[in-house]
Chains A and B, each alone.
Chain A
Amino acid sequence: DTGVSQNPRHKITKRGQNVTFRCDPISEHNRLYWYRQTLGQGPEFLTYFQNEAQLEKSRLLSDRFSAERPKGSFSTLEIQRTEQGDSAMYLCASSLLWAGGPIVDTQYFGPGTRLTVL
């Protein structure tokens, strides 16, 4: 399977614990995005990387959220001191943006990690 993969698929944690999610993008893709989706809503953008550079992180929900993509391949999203309001589906997407080409950025999504904070 050469699609976007995310692990774990489900995570149940207690309030106050830290959690980390992993995303493996499609191998040749240079862009990687994190989104959060709550019930009945569309995905909401959190942050994104181009290669290893995090180009936008102002939409991360609080300073408890952080993301890394250390070698420009897989990425991790960490939530520290989880709260019940963090319960949601966390989606990762990747795309290949051609430098100098038309800006047409089809994003391919992983299956998501469903977080439940008790």
Chain B
Amino acid sequence: SQQGEEDPQALSIQEGENATMNCSYKTSINNLQWYRQNSGRGLVHLILIRSNEREKHSGRLRVTLDTSKKSSSLLITASRAADTASYFCASPNYGGSQGNLIFGKGTKLSVKP
């Protein structure tokens, strides 16, 4: 079952603009992770935010986490054509000592030059 749901499902912007993607999840988490996937490729880990953190930065990425609302957002500033990809949020499933990631369906970002 899907844990997270990203919103919007698709986003098209011009190069230089900021892109914001949102993620909602269902159960309690101890961290939330964001991944990028270029078309037909594997996933690249972007950033991990722990449940006791509210905001985290990495280069042009900013992630926020609101555990009371069970939501997270990923902001990409000054977007580039190379940022075109699908972005997924994922949270670990530690129930039953599994530890696998549960992914949403992703946001497909298109950055036009």
Contact = CB atoms under 8 A, between A and B. Distances in A.
Given A56-B98, A91-B43, A106-B33, A40 B105 contact: yes
Contacts of A74: none
Interface string B41-52: 111110010100
B106 A112 contact: no
A97 B99 contact: yes
* B-side interface size class: 20 to 34
Contacts of A45: 93, 98, 100-102
Nearest to A59: B100
A21 interface: no
* A-side interface size class: 20 to 34
B40 interface: yes
A104 B99 contact: no
Interface string A3-39: 0101000000000000000000000000101010000
Contact of B101 (A89, A107, A111): A107
B48 A43 contact: no
Contacts of A59: 100
B92 A105 contact: yes
B92 A108 contact: no
B50 A106 contact: no
11 contacts: A4-B42, A42-B90, A48-B100, A89-B40, A91-B43, A97-B99, A103-B92, A103-B94, A104-B31, A104-B48, A109-B35
Interface of A: 4, 6, 31, 33, 35, 40-45, 48, 55-56, 59, 89, 91, 93, 95, 97, 102-112, 114
Given A4-B42, A103-B30, A112-B41, 4 more contacts: A45-B101, A48-B100, A89-B40, A108-B45
